Structure 1
Amino acid sequence: MGIRGLTKLLADNAARCRSDQELKSFFGRRIAIDASMNIYQFLVAVRQGSDNLTNEAGEITSHLSGLFYRTIKLMEVGVKPCYVFDGKPPKMKSGELQKRIDAKKLAQQEAKKAEETGDVEAFEKYSRRINKVTPEVIQQCKTLLKLMGVPVIEAPCEAEAQCASMCKGGLVYATASEDMDSLTFGTTRLVRRLWSGATATNEKKGIRPMEFNLPIALEELQMDHSTFIDLCMLCGCDYMDSIKGVGPTTALNLMRKHGSIESVFKALRKEGKHVVPEVDLSEIRQLFVKPEVLSNSEINLQWTSPDEAGLIDFLVKQNSFREDTIRSGIKRMLSSRNAASQARLDTFFKKKPTAAKRKVDEDDTVSSKKGKLSHAM
Structure 2
Amino acid sequence: MGISGLLPILKPIQNQKHLSEFAGQTLAVDAYVWLHRGVYACATELAMGKKTTKYVDYAMHRIRLLRHYNIQPYVVFDGGPLPAKVPTEVSRKQRREESLTKGKELVKQKRWKEAREYFVKAVDVGTEMAYQLVKALRAENIPYIVAPYEADAQLAYLERIGLVDGIITEDSDLLVFGCQNVLFKLDAVTSTVTCISKSDFASISTSSGSSISLTSFTPTQFRWMCMLSGCDYLPSIPGIGLKTAYTLLRKYKTVDNVVRAVRLEGKKEVPKGYLEMFKLAEKAFEYQRVWCPIKERLIYLSELAEGEVLDEGVNMYVGG
Same fold (TM over 0.5): yes
**3-state SS of 2:226 partner:** helix
Distance 1:283 1:7 in 2: 25
Matches within 5 A, 1:198-213: 198-199=188-189, 203=190, 208-213=192-197
The CA distance in 1 between the partners of 2:154 and 2:167, in whole Å, is 9
Alignment correspondent of 2:156:
164
Report the Cα distance in structure 2 between the residues aligned to 1:137 and 1:47, rounded to whole angstroms: 12
Q: Which runs of 5+ in 2 are unaligned?
A: 205-213, 297-320
Provide the C-alpha distance between the structure 2 equivalents of 1:295 and 1:65, rounded to a whole number of angstroms: 29
Aligned match for 1:154, one of 103, 121, 146 = 146
Q: Does the 8 Å contact 1:53/1:62 carry over to 2?
A: no
Query: Against the structure 1 CA distance between its residues 53 and 264, is the aligned structure 2 distance closer, same or farther, given a 3 Å change threshold?
Result: closer
- Distance in structure 2 (CA, Å) of the matches to 1:103 and 1:8: 27
SS in 2 for 1:191: strand
Q: 1:269 maps to what in 2?
A: 263
Q: Match of 2:220, as an amino acid?
A: S
Q: What whole-Å deviation, never above 9, does each CA across 1:148-174 have from its counterpart, x for those lacking one?
A: 100011212211111111112222111
Instruction: Give percent identity, aligned residues only.
Output: 27
Q: Which amino acid in the other structure matches residue 24 of structure 1? A: S
SS at match of 2:24: coil
2:52 aligned with 1:68, yes or no? no
Q: 2:31 & 2:15 partners in 1: Cα distance?
A: 23
The DSSP-based 3-state class of the residue aligned with 1:187 is coil
Counterpart position of 1:309: none
- 1:184 has 2:156 as partner: no
1:29 to partner: Cα distance: 1.7
1:260 to 235, 254, 260: 254
**What's the counterpart of residue 290 of structure 2?**
293
Partner of 1:217: 201
Q: In 2, Cα distance between the equivalents of 1:118 and 1:125?
A: 13
Pairwise CA distance, 1:115: 1.4
Provide the secondary structure at the position in 2 that maps to 1:190.
strand
1:8 equivalent in alignment to 2:8:
yes
CA offsets 1:296-317 (integer angstroms, 9 cap, x no match) = 6237xxxxxxxxxxxxxxxxxx
The 1-side partners of 2:289 and 2:138 are apart by 24
Deviations 1:98-132 (A, max 9, x none): 23212212211221232122222211211222222
Code of the residue aligned with 2:133 in structure 1: it is C
Give the whole-Å Cα distance in 1 for the aligned partners of 2:293 and 2:221.
26
Aligned with 1:281 (options 274, 278, 281): 278
Q: What is residue 250 of structure 1 aligned with on the other side?
A: 244
Correspondence 1:235 to 2:232: no
Q: Given residue 37 of structure 1, which amino acid in structure 2 is its aligned partner?
A: V
Q: Which has the larger radius of gyration?
A: 1
Q: Name which structure has the greater RCO, CA cutoff 8 Å, separation 6+.
A: 1
Q: Which amino acid aligns with 2:252?
A: H
Unmatched 5+ residue regions in structure 1? 300-377
C-alpha root-mean-square deviation of aligned residues, in Å? 2.2
C-alpha change, 1:224 and 1:269, in structure 2 (3 Å) is same
Alpha-carbon separation, structure 1, partners of 2:45 and 2:24: 36
Distance, in Å, in 2 between the alignment partners of 1:23 and 1:110 is 41
Aligned-pair distance for 1:188? Answer: 0.5
Is this contact kept in 2: 1:171–1:296, CA < 8 A?
no
Is the counterpart of residue 100 in structure 1 residue 92 in structure 2?
yes
1:226 maps to 2:210? no
Higher share of residues assigned helix:
1
1:31 has 2:15 as partner: no
- Cα shift at 1:75: 0.8
> Does structure 2 retain, via aligned residues, the 8 Å contact 1:160–1:177?
no
Shift of 1:252: 1.0
Q: 3-state DSSP class of the match of 1:178?
A: coil
Q: Is the 8 A contact 1:32 1:176 kept in 2?
A: yes
Count of aligned pairs: 283
1:167–1:187: 8 Å Cα contact kept in structure 2?
yes
Residue 41 (1) aligns with residue 37 (2) = yes
Alpha carbons 2:47, 2:100 under 8 Å: kept = no
8 Å CA contact 2:46, 2:123 repeated in 1: no
Name the structure with the higher strand share. 2
CA contact (8 A) 1:53 1:61 kept: no
Name the CA distance, whole Å, in 1 between partners of 2:267 and 2:50. Answer: 54
Is the Cα–Cα contact under 8 Å of residues 218 and 225 in structure 1 kept in the other structure? no
1:219 Cα offset (Å)? 5.1
1:314 aligned partner: none
Matches of 2:19 and 2:47, distance apart in 1: 27
